[in-house]
Amino acid sequence: MPAERTKGADITQQILTHATRLFAARGFVGASLRDIAKAVGIRKPSLLYHFNSKDDLRRGVLEKMLAHWNEVVPRLLKAATSGHEQFQAVATETLEFFRADPDRARLLLRELLDRPEEMEPLIESHVQPWTKIICDYIRKGQQQGRVHPDIDPEAYVVHMINLMVCGVALHDSMIALMPAGDDGREQLAARTMTELLRFARAGLFIDPAAAREGIEAPGPLPEPASVSGKEPSPER
Amino acid sequence: MPAERTKGADITQQILTHATRLFAARGFVGASLRDIAKAVGIRKPSLLYHFNSKDDLRRGVLEKMLAHWNEVVPRLLKAATSGHEQFQAVATETLEFFRADPDRARLLLRELLDRPEEMEPLIESHVQPWTKIICDYIRKGQQQGRVHPDIDPEAYVVHMINLMVCGVALHDSMIALMPAGDDGREQLAARTMTELLRFARAGLFIDPAAAREGIEAPGPLPEPASVSGKEPSPER
DNA sequence: CGCCCTTTCTACCGAGTGGTAGAGAAGAAT
DNA sequence: ATTCTTCTCTACCACTCGGTAGAAAGGGCG
pLDDT in tens, B175-195: 888 876 667 888 899 999 999
**pLDDT digit string, tens, across residues A177-221:** 887 666 788 889 999 999 999 999 999 888 766 655 544 444 444
How many whole angstroms separate alpha carbon A219 and alpha carbon A208? 17
pLDDT confidence of A232, banded at 50, 70, 90?
very low
B39 touches strand D (CB under 7 A): no
C-beta separation of B29 from A30 below 8 A: yes
Chain B residues touching A29 at Cβ < 8 A: 27, 29-30
Distances (CA, A) of A114 to A42, B24, B55, B61, B166: 28, 9, 20, 19, 14
A93 within 8 A of A230, measured Cβ to Cβ = yes
Contact A163 B163 (CB under 8 A): yes
pLDDT tens digits for A14-59?
999 999 999 999 999 999 999 999 999 999 999 999 999 999 999 9
Q: Which of A82-86, A216-220, B123-127, B168-172 has the lowest average pLDDT?
A: A216-220
A14 touches chain B (CB under 8 A): no
In percent, how much of chain B has pLDDT > 70? 82
Residue A184 phi/psi, 5° resolution?
Answer: -80, 170
- pLDDT value at B93 more than 60: yes
Query: Collapsing DSSP states into helix, strand and coil, what is residue B190?
Result: helix
d(CA A39, CA A20): 11
Measured between alpha carbons, how far is A200 from A80 in angstroms, rounded to an integer? Answer: 16
> Which residue would you say has higher pLDDT here, A4 or B176?
B176
CB B170 within 8 A of CB A164: no
Q: Which residue has the higher pLDDT, B117 or B83?
A: B117
Q: What is the pLDDT of residue A76?
A: 82
pLDDT bin (cut points 50, 70, 90) of residue A86 is confident
Determine phi and psi for B120, rounding to 5 degrees.
-55, -50
What is the three-class DSSP state of A115? coil
Look at B211 and A10; give whichever has higher pLDDT.
Answer: A10
A195 contacts chain B (CB < 8 A): yes
Q: How far is the CA of B70 from the C1' of D8 (A)?
A: 34
Residues 6+ apart with CB under 8 A from A125: none
Distances (CA, A) of B205 to B184, B192, B200: 32, 20, 9
> From the alpha carbon of B48, which nucleotide's C1' atom is closest?
C19
Q: Is the separation of the CB atoms in A155 and A174 below 8 Å?
A: no
Note the pTM of the prediction, 2 decimals: 0.86
Q: What is the Cα–Cα distance from B187 to B36, expressed in whole angstroms? A: 33
> What's residue A137's pLDDT?
85
CB contact under 8 A, B173 and A148: no
In the prediction, which pLDDT does A195 show?
Answer: 95
Would you place residue B236 in the very low, low, confident or very high pLDDT band (cuts 50, 70, 90)? very low
Among the residue ranges A164-178, A202-216, B2-16, B47-61, the one predicted with the least confidence is: A202-216
User: What band does B84 get if pLDDT is binned at 50, 70 and 90?
Assistant: low
Contact, B25 CB vs strand D, < 7 Å: no
Looking at residue B211, what is its pLDDT? 57
pLDDT at residue A119 is higher than 90: yes
| CB pair distance less than 8 Å for A155 and B191 | yes
Mean pLDDT for chain B overall: 85
Residue nearest to nucleotide D29 (CA to C1'): A1
Predicted confidence at residue A133, as pLDDT, reads 81
Task: Say if residue B146's pLDDT is above 50.
Answer: yes
Instruction: Compute the distance between CA of residue B236 and CA of residue B214 in angstroms, rounded to an integer.
Output: 16
As a whole number of angstroms, the distance between CA B130 and CA B128 comes to: 5
- Give nucleotides in strand C with any atom < 7 A to a protein C-beta: 6-11, 16-22, 26-27
Average pLDDT, chain A: 85
Within 10 Å of residue B92's Cβ, how many Cβ atoms? 20
B21, B104, B120, B170, best to mutate vs chain A, most A CBs in 10 Å: B170
pLDDT higher than 80, residue B222:
no
Residue B140's Cα: distance from chain center in Å? 25
Q: How far apart are CA B102 and CA A94, in angstroms?
A: 27
pLDDT at B221 over 80: no
Q: State the sign of the Cα–Cα–Cα–Cα dihedral A199, A201, A207, A211.
A: negative
Check residue B229 and give its pLDDT: 39
Residue A122 sits at the chain B interface (C-beta within 8 Å): no
Cα B153 from Cα B134, distance rounded (Å): 8
Q: How far apart are CA B132 and CA B136, in angstroms?
A: 6
Closest CA to B236 of B222, B215, B220: B215
pLDDT level of residue B6 (50, 70, 90 thresholds): low
**A214 exposed, middle or buried (CB, 10 Å; 0-12, 13-18, 19+)?**
middle
- Between positions 34 and 93 of A, the ones with CB within 8 A of B are none
User: A181 φ, ψ to 5°?
Assistant: -55, -50
Q: What is the DSSP letter of B176?
A: G
Say yes or no: B27 contacts chain A, CB-CB below 8 A.
yes
Using pLDDT thresholds of 50, 70 and 90, give the confidence band for residue A230.
very low
pLDDT(B209) > 70 = no
- Confidence tier at A124 by pLDDT (50, 70, 90): very high
Size of interface A-B (CB pairs under 8 A): 172
Cβ contact A34 with chain D strand, < 7 A: yes
What Cα–Cα distance (Å) separates residue B203 from each residue in A191, B70, B153? 16, 28, 11
**HSE (side-chain half, CA atoms, 13 Å) at A70:** 9
